[in-house]
Structure 1
Amino acid sequence: MKNKKKSILFFNARRRVNMAKKMIEYLKNRYTEYQLISSDTDYLDPISYVTDDFVVLPSIESQEFESVFLEVIKKKNIVGIIMWNDKDFAAIEKMRLKIEKLGCKILMPKEKKYEICNNKMLTDKFLRTHALYTPQIYENPDKIKKYPVIIKPKNGAGCVDVYKADNLEEAIVFYKKVPNPIIQEYIEGVHYTVDTYFDRCDGVLCSVPRKRIKVREAEVMIAKIEMQEEVMNVAQQLTKFFSEEGPMNIQVILSVDDGKPYIIDIHCRIGGGSELSIEGGVPLHEWIIDDIIGGEKRIQYIVNDGLIMTRYFDAFFINENSSIKNNIKR
């Protein structure tokens, strides 16, 4: 039986419940012939209890993933894919042509661009090519000129295996411990995550800095919109140089030493704390949906500068031996 609605897949977004709710609300208000579905490797992901449908997929690293995924796209009438996890980009890119032949749009940059985000050495080269400030990189512990330094994986994300070394002895230990390590100058300052969005016709639609006040395991728990001009400008410049349709979130540290905005990380997707920007008036979720469907964007908005977000964990409770979807308690 043919699906009544066209589906947009929020791919492996796991606990991005609030973001999913925003997208669903927008679809119901403007694009009633579409629905939002989500996916992961088991039904216990929190997002599965709020989206219109949920699909269990094999691991993206498995041999059967491609054939299963392509069949799901056809069966669920999926016309667009919203990416979340940086580590999924490479596998989906390999399938891009096959996915697009099914009439499904993937909102993510081409391989050369997302590799700039995922590889810290390529990130550094890109930023320096465009004369944007970024911390100095040292080849190995013996080359370090100033402490402290940050040691982290070249292809890492989410603060996994990230260490601060205050001296040569610590640097040697962490350099051996971290897989495929990179040594980066430590910048003391105010840490921001900046939400930006690039449109092929209108250019950069927004640049909204979120000051990171409290972070837990790489996830921002308390943040504040702070329209700091230097930070806004550098993120806008980067997004313009990058010129890839869709959202970006850019990590910037405003140095207390020289007052310069140093870019330390780039992600070509929506951020975990981007819901603050949305609540602050920036329709990021709408633009994502509009780009997938081909609708006209609402580009006039007012930012609630100074808006603070404080988060907490919520839970779903499911009776193990009953139908999961019909036995959810909050």
Structure 2
Amino acid sequence: MGRPDVLVTAASRRVALVRALQQAQARLATGGRVIATDIDPFSPAVHVADLAAAVPRSDAPDYVDALLDVCDAHDVGVLVPTIDDELGIIAAAADRFARLGVVVMAPTVETAHICRDKLRTATHLQQHGIRVADTWTPDDVRARGLQPPLFVKPRRGRGSVGAFPALKPGHLEFFLGYVSDPIVQEYLDGPEYTIDLFCDLQGRPISAVPRQRLVIRSGVSDRGRTVKSRVLMDLAVRCAEVLDFRGAVNVQCRVVDDVPVIFEINPRFSGGIQLTLAAGADFAEWTIRAARGEVLQPCLGAFTDGLRMSSHEASLFLSDADADVLAPSARTLAGEQS
């Protein structure tokens, strides 16, 4: 990676990730900055980053062009997407970024589309013999006469938005009508884990860190602990054998009767990545080193077991003038002048 800057898209609240990348830049003496993009100038991560840039929403037709403008205007050598909505869009443009010298830390287009669609995720994993929550369309549920307890969520949702347990028949019908484009999963009753997985640019697993999610707030782990479980680490590695990942991934599962059952996979940094980083699995540094072309050595199990995280709120205090933190891209300026 001749270009030292790191671009984090849709940075929003990802202060821990931005700071971890900044610290990795300093340790590696790259001389690079961490640049954040967002649509909101008052998102905290854009004020922590070394530089911030305004871009349109990820569903805008010129989103990729705006990111390319930011990369071209600076010395961006690696792009780290952070939200599910944009993964397939950015993965499809990986060659365009490569022509600028930018490495995209995202899965292949096919893997991004499979993981974005929870029904496709379940089908794909089942076809490869990996235990995953049984998943149905509403029509399947009605045709089979399936009854609660069940779990209703958007087929292409993210976080915990629109996800609800349906514990009674009345709940099921209500949430099927309430949730947009829903799917239904079997109700999993057991401790919940996120397995943070890191893969190099060839898709090889470098590290897998299981984290028990003890307290969850708005879909993100508020309290958790690392667990050195070979079964859970092997499960993440198995997922990397049947899906083509690059960079950070998080595999979400519950352990039911001592068997881990996956309910979704997100091929991006998790919201609780700070616990994995604190446990000694430096996904941030590996992101930069992989983009630089370094060969990473697998270190499965090399992290602190039983490390606990207890998160708390922290605030930035800004003024109206801080809205100027988002530097307009060349494309934004052109749009304003037209």
Q: TM-score of the superposition, structure 1-length normalised?
A: 0.90
Q: Tell me what 1:268 maps to.
A: 267
1:284 deviates by: 1.2
1:200 deviates by: 5.2
Higher alpha-carbon deviation: 54-63 or 104-113? 54-63
Report the Cα distance in structure 1 between the residues aligned to 2:202 and 2:154, rounded to whole angstroms: 36
Q: Which amino acid aligns with 2:131?
A: Y
Instruction: Work out whether residues 198 and 246 of structure 1, in 8 Å CA contact, stay in contact via their aligned partners in 2.
Output: yes
1:147 deviates by: 2.5
Report the Cα distance in structure 2 between the residues aligned to 1:18 and 1:50, rounded to whole angstroms: 9
1:324 deviates by: 6.6
Equivalent position SS for 2:125: helix
Instruction: Indicate whether 1:152 and 2:162 are aligned.
Output: no
Q: Tell me what 2:332 maps to.
A: none
Identity %: 23
1:68 deviates by: 3.2
1:86 deviates by: 0.6
Instruction: Indicate whether 1:87 and 2:85 are aligned.
Output: yes
1:90 deviates by: 3.1
Report the Cα distance in structure 2 between the residues aligned to 1:102 and 1:7, rounded to whole angstroms: 13
Equivalent position SS for 2:33: strand
Structure of greater relative contact order (alpha carbons < 8 Å, 6+ residues apart): 2
Q: Tell me what 1:328 maps to.
A: none
Q: Which amino acid aligns with 2:31?
A: E
1:299 deviates by: 4.8
Q: Which amino acid aligns with 2:294?
A: G
Distance 1:286 1:186, change over 3 A: same
1:321 deviates by: 4.2
**Equivalent residues in 2 for 1:94-243, closer than 5 Å:** 94-138=92-136, 139-199=140-200, 203-243=204-244
Q: Tell me what 1:74 maps to.
A: 72
Report the Cα distance in structure 1 between the residues aligned to 2:207 and 2:259, rounded to whole angstroms: 21
Structure 1 spans left out of the alignment, 5+ residues = 326-330
Q: Which amino acid aligns with 1:178?
A: V
- Give deviations 1:101-160, integer Å, cap 9, x for gaps: 222111101211111111011101111011111122232345243520001111111111
Q: Tell me what 1:304 maps to.
A: 304
Structure 2 spans left out of the alignment, 5+ residues = 326-338
**Equivalent residues in 2 for 1:10-25, closer than 5 Å:** 10-25=8-23
Distance 1:65 1:197, change over 3 A: closer
Equivalent position SS for 1:24: helix
1:194 deviates by: 0.4
Q: Which amino acid aligns with 2:271?
A: G
Instruction: Work out whether residues 109 and 245 of structure 1, in 8 Å CA contact, stay in contact via their aligned partners in 2.
Output: yes
Report the Cα distance in structure 2 between the residues aligned to 1:93 and 1:238, rounded to whole angstroms: 19
Distance 1:179 1:52, change over 3 A: same
What CA RMSD, in Å, does the superposition of the two structures yield over aligned residues? Answer: 2.2
Q: Which amino acid aligns with 1:92?
A: I
Instruction: Work out whether residues 13 and 43 of structure 2, in 8 Å CA contact, stay in contact via their aligned partners in 1.
Output: yes
- Give deviations 1:27-64, integer Å, cap 9, x for gaps: 11214232211111132111122221111112233344
Q: Which amino acid aligns with 2:50?
A: D
Report the Cα distance in structure 2 between the residues aligned to 1:232 and 1:66, rounded to whole angstroms: 34
Q: Which amino acid aligns with 1:273?
A: G
Report the Cα distance in structure 1 between the residues aligned to 2:20 and 2:53, rounded to whole angstroms: 20
Over 4 Å off, 4+ runs: 298-301, 321-325
Q: TM-score of the superposition, structure 2-length normalised?
A: 0.88
Q: Which amino acid aligns with 2:259?
A: K
Equivalent position SS for 1:62: coil
Report the Cα distance in structure 1 between the residues aligned to 2:322 and 2:38, rounded to whole angstroms: 20
Instruction: Work out whether residues 108 and 244 of structure 2, in 8 Å CA contact, stay in contact via their aligned partners in 1.
Output: no
